[in-house]
Amino acid sequence: MSEMPEIRWGSGTAAYQIEGAVDEGGRVPSIWDTFADRPGAITRGDTGTVASGMYRDPAPLLDAVEWLGTDSYRLSVAWCRVIGGPDGRPNPEGIAYYRRVLQELHRRGVTPLVTLYHWDLPQWLQDRGGWASLETVSAFVDFVTVAVGELGDLVDEWITVNEPFCAAFHGHLSGEHAPGIRDEATALRAALMQLHAHGEAVRTIRRLAPGARTGLAMNLSDLEPAGDLPADLEATRRADLVENRLFLHTVLRGELPEDTDGYFGTATVAAALEGIDLAGIAEPIDFIGVNYYEHNVVRAAEPGTDPIVRGIDKLPVPQPRSGNGVAVHPAGFVRVLLRVAELAPDLPIRVTENGIGLWDYLDPSGNCNDVERVAFLDRYLAALREARSRGARVEAYYHWSLIDTFEWSYGYQLRYGLFYVDFPTRRLTPKASAARYREIIAGERAAALDREPIAAEA
């Protein structure tokens, strides 16, 4: 096995969360426009109509990337901005926008990592069945073909789909995300369909841009049984199937975990697989993206309170935790990275998301002193170093997120950004965590330079 790579530092965002301008530049509606308009769907009735305003003016965001000094920036291109509607026609205005952003990143010495599907499915595809329909996969391949054709000279690194678990199970089972469906069979179908779309997209990118590096980003959770009772162990195994193995094993092995039929039912699984190329999902990738947020302690419970996995409870999370109750648990991060490394020892890992949602605010002097995020960064980066020292080939870390965004069902209240966004004015202010991240990156870079062998004098 080759030497451990230097870490590449980055941060990220996604189109619907930052762009706004949903009716501008030839963009067509997405499922998130529709869902956000549904009364009660989003906290305080927020929508992505204006978001962080970065479609109209991406300059502050690009300045923020440059200020941080990261090597890379992860962004997503919106399918509904790139393709102008059901006839599949490319939308020149949308493409020109992304070209400007990508060119600016290159001009500032920043490598873009581009996600193709970060949840903003065009509404016209949802009207035809969404992720339950094979038509969505062929439309995705058409979109990928246009994106690679139009942007491929500026992008060498692609992520096919982001967090298929969330889009499938929050979108189609708990109903907390768009399109707001509540049906387990549809959720399973949507999960497998996105993975099928991922496999097709990898092959499409390989054909059109053989030199590009391609992967996908999955959110993986660290799950711990509440005790030794067989029922708690079994509950944890079920949670692990739905949240982790269904994605991880299928992408790496091209087959479903052995307990899939047992949990979902043979007929449901057979229906969910109709038309899906299971083996093709395991098309070799260049890296695996891990989004790490969740550590949970699981116990068996009937009926159970978990909105996704039947018959389980997740125990209340002690402090420290995020604003929305997610555990701050760096040991779980180490375990997840080592687990992936064990499953795919030669596959480079990129931490494509890791961050903490807080109820940040500007103090009277106009600063955001997000001490919890500063501590989070220090602890999770120490965990990252530990995972690397124990053999996980992590080649990149992207903090989520660069700036505050429209945080899906939480709207604008829950903030993940390193930069505070004053939503009425769209003004960006670096938080204490941004200064800390910048300092860490500068320090790591200096240390990496010190490690470089000095060329022998001629």
Task: Please report, as ranges, the residues that interact with ligand IFM according to CB under 6 A.
Answer: 14, 17, 163, 291, 353, 400, 407, 416
Residue 93 is among the residues annotated as catalytic for this protein: no
Cα torsion 311, 233, 222, 159: sign: negative
Task: State in angstroms the smallest separation of the CB of 107 from ligand IFM.
Answer: 26
Task: State in angstroms the smallest separation of the CB of 13 from ligand IFM.
Answer: 8
- Residue (102 or 159) nearer to ligand IFM, CB: 159
Task: State in angstroms the smallest separation of the CB of 167 from ligand IFM.
Answer: 10
Task: State in angstroms the smallest separation of the CB of 254 from ligand IFM.
Answer: 25
Instruction: Kindly tell me the burial class for residue 456, based on how many C-beta atoms sit within 10 Å of its own C-beta (0-12, 13-18, 19 or more).
Output: exposed
Residue in 19, 104, 150, 163 annotated catalytic: 163
Instruction: Kindly tell me the burial class for residue 453, based on how many C-beta atoms sit within 10 Å of its own C-beta (0-12, 13-18, 19 or more).
Output: exposed
Query: DSSP letters of 329-378?
Result: -HHHHHHHHHHHHHHSTTS-EEEEEE---B-----TTS----HHHHHHHH
Residue 163 is among the residues annotated as catalytic for this protein: yes
Query: Nearest to ligand IFM by Cβ — which residue?
Result: 14
- Residue (187 or 226) nearer to ligand IFM, CB: 187
Nearest to 173 by CA among 192, 196, 189: 189
- Residue (14 or 358) nearer to ligand IFM, CB: 14
Q: Are 405 and 119 in contact (CB under 8 A)?
A: no
Instruction: Kindly tell me the burial class for residue 154, based on how many C-beta atoms sit within 10 Å of its own C-beta (0-12, 13-18, 19 or more).
Output: middle
| Chain-centre distance for alpha carbon 225 | 26
Q: Are 166 and 119 in contact (CB under 8 A)?
A: yes
Residue in 283, 353, 372, 407 annotated catalytic: 353
- Residue (263 or 293) nearer to ligand IFM, CB: 293
Task: State in angstroms the smallest separation of the CB of 69 from ligand IFM.
Answer: 23
| Residue corresponding to tokens 């493409």 | 95
- Residue (72 or 291) nearer to ligand IFM, CB: 291
- Catalytically annotated residues: 163, 353
